[in-house]
Chains A and B, each alone.
Chain A
Amino acid sequence: MKIVSLCLFAIIAFGVPVFAAHHDEYPVATPPLTEGIFPCSNCHAGMDVNTKRRQLKDEHTNIKLHHAENDRWCLDCHNPANRDKLKLANGDTIPFTDSYLLCGQCHGNIYRDWKVGIHGKRIGYFKGGKRVYFLCVNCHNPHDPKFKPLKPEPPPIRPEEQAHGR
């Protein structure tokens, strides 16, 4: 009872639940932000927030949203109050390095696999050294997440074409 009232007090006093969503820490890679674009507040700090859903005409025109674009737009994931953070569906704000929490809201099965190292990629030392977990966004463009086809490396030389150096 005491704890509940304490929580209520905290929520009333600070406007946010004191128990923010707990999650494990991962040694994640640096998010692939366009150079010079971060912190977003450099430009956004003095700007009024326009929450009206619209096509952007002046800035960020290189971003073509192709990720359930009929159901969402910028401010569903980007936090309007502080642009240097992302926003979860429950209203929590998270840094860009925790973006997997945002992706995991919809892609729960993939998130589960990512946490145990089955989906995604880990490099470096699995023991006794620095290890890096790639973030979802290191491989998938969050605005257009489908993995793009690649040019393959050359096929092996056929034995009949292989000179043996004799």
Chain B
Amino acid sequence: MMSMGALAALSLGSSACTQVQKEEFLQKRFREMTEAEKKTTIRRLEETYFRKYGKKFRIGTQPAESAVLWGYGLDLSRCIGCRRCVYACVKENNQSRISPQLHWIRVVRLKDGSLINLENAEHYYNPETVPEPGFQYMPVQCQHCETPPCVRVCPVHATWKEPDGIVVVDYNWCIGCRYCIAACPYKGRVFNWAEPNIPAEELNTEVHYLGNRPRMKNVVEKCTFCIQRVRNGRYPACVEACPTGTRKFGNLLDPDSEIRYLIENKRVFRLKEDLNTESKFYYFFSA
């Protein structure tokens, strides 16, 4: 049931309100859409993006596969802190480049032997070359918790955990209250404080509705394990960009996967395990 105020706003503003804006306003939450509604929404979005960016987007809506739970592995004995992953992610996932500059991956630098003292983490380090002697590097991004605190606090259910474990945001449903940002213990979420700023020629047009499609001002965004790639069987962009092979990805329910091997055979920890977030992001040491 729509509120009276919303109805009044619609009828009053009918002259200033285009058909597209009306449809956007009345659009349901993605999770509750029927297949037909999804199709209409995708078509409308593709038209909107074409008008805005002059590019043809392919917006996917692939659902989660059964018997799949994605997990991520990151080898702390290999990471050299070069930030190639950060910028590969920005490019793949259409993050705003500047004003605001949004990154889904934050590489923190810690003193050797001081991996748990996160209060001493530094992520603005900028030496001539990396790795620097005496330091370790730990990339942090959305940890795709099994009990995600960000999902629990969202007052409008605009963010949720998919059946394959990926925590997603419906940007069209997000009201921009940023409760989720406050709730996340990993600083895994960022906010579009202004209209995103991406050069048209750098846009990635292969997108997913719940992933890397262009966002708007006043919505929250985060890592989705490259949902547009992994649901098509492809490694996430950060995995492919890493020059040291630090990043591993796979299905936690497949006993033959890379991720299961490293959990069973290497020294593994999860960040802030004591918070019971049950994250699916496993830091490990291969050496």
Q: Do A and B actually bind?
A: yes
Q: Which residues of A contact B (CB under 8 A)?
A: 113, 116-129, 134, 139, 147, 149-158, 162-166
**Least CB distance, B99 to chain A, in whole angstroms:** 4
Stretch at the interface among B22-30, B119-127, B220-228: B119-127
- Shortest B202–chain A CB gap in Å is 15
Give 30 CB contacts A-B under 8 Å.
A113-B286, A116-B261, A117-B258, A118-B248, A118-B262, A118-B265, A118-B286, A121-B239, A123-B240, A124-B240, A126-B233, A126-B235, A126-B250, A128-B232, A129-B234, A139-B244, A139-B245, A150-B82, A150-B243, A151-B129, A151-B130, A153-B82, A153-B84, A153-B87, A156-B101, A156-B103, A157-B101, A158-B124, A163-B99, A165-B195
Instruction: Find out whether the CB atom of B124 lies under 8 angstroms from the CB atom of A122.
Output: no
A122 cross-chain contacts in B, Cβ below 8 A = 235, 258
Chain A residues within an 8 Å CB radius of B123: 155-156
Contacts of A125 in B (CB 8 A): 232-235
Majority DSSP secondary structure for residues of A touching B: loop
Give the Cβ gap from A19 to chain B, nearest Cβ, in Å: 27
User: Does the CB pair A151–B286 fall under 8 Å?
Assistant: no
B 193-236 binary contact with A (CB < 8 Å = 1; else 0): 11101000000000000000000000000000000000011110
Nearest A-chain residue to B197, judged by Cβ:
A165
Contact A129 B83 (CB under 8 A): no
Q: Which of B128, B232, B235, B239 contacts A151 (CB 8 A)?
A: B128
Check A150–B245 contact: CB distance below 8 A. Answer: no
Cross-chain contact B234 with A152 (CB below 8 angstroms)? no
Closest residue of B by beta carbon distance from A128: B233
If the complex has contacts A118-B286, A139-B243, A165-B100, are A126 and B81 also in contact, measured as CB distance less than 8 A? no
- Give the complex CA separation of A115 and B16 in angstroms: 62
Name which residue of chain A comes closest to B230, CB basis.
Answer: A126
Q: Within 8 Å CB of A120, what residues of B?
A: 245
Any chain A CB within 8 A of the CB of B76? no
Residues of the B chain whose Cβ atoms lie less than 8 Å from the Cβ of A123:
235, 239-240
Interface of B is mostly: loop
Residue of A nearest to B256 (CB): A116
Bound form: Cα–Cα A126–B232 in Å:
9
The 6 tightest CB contacts between A and B, nearest first, are A127-B233, A121-B245, A149-B129, A153-B83, A165-B194, A117-B258
- Known contacts: A126-B249, A152-B126. The answer to whether A166 contacts B258 by CB under 8 A is no
- Flag if B244 contacts A147 (CB, 8 Å): yes
Contact of A164 among B100, B239, B240 (CB under 8 A): B100
Query: Are B242's CB and A121's CB within 8 A?
Result: yes
In the complex, chain A residues whose CB is within 8 Å of the CB of B244 = 121, 139, 147
CB distance from B216 to the nearest CB of A (A): 13
Q: Once bound together, how far apart are the Cα atoms of A155 and B84, in whole Å?
A: 11
Partner of B101 from A113, A150, A162 at Cβ < 8 Å: A162
A113's closest neighbor in chain B, by CB?
B286
**With known contacts A139-B244, A149-B131, A157-B101, A119–B286 Cβ distance under 8 A:** yes
Interface residues of B in 231-287 (CB under 8 A from A): 232-235, 239-240, 242-245, 248-250, 258, 261-262, 265-266, 286
Distance in Å from the Cβ of B251 to the closest Cβ of chain A? 9
Identity of the chain B residue whose Cβ is nearest the Cβ of A134 in the assembled complex = B245
Q: Cβ of A155 and Cβ of B126 under 8 Å apart?
A: yes
Q: Is the CB of B80 within 8 A of A166?
A: no
Shortest A146–chain B CB gap in Å is 12
Question: Chain B residues near A156 (CB, 8 Å)?
Answer: 86, 101, 103, 106, 123-124
Minimum distance in angstroms from A102 CB to a CB of chain B: 19
Bound-state Cα–Cα, A125 to B240, Å: 11
Q: Given contacts A152-B130, A153-B84, could you give 15 more A-B pairs where the C-beta distance is less than 8 Å?
A: A113-B286, A116-B261, A117-B248, A118-B258, A118-B261, A118-B286, A121-B242, A121-B245, A129-B233, A151-B128, A152-B82, A155-B126, A162-B101, A164-B193, A165-B194
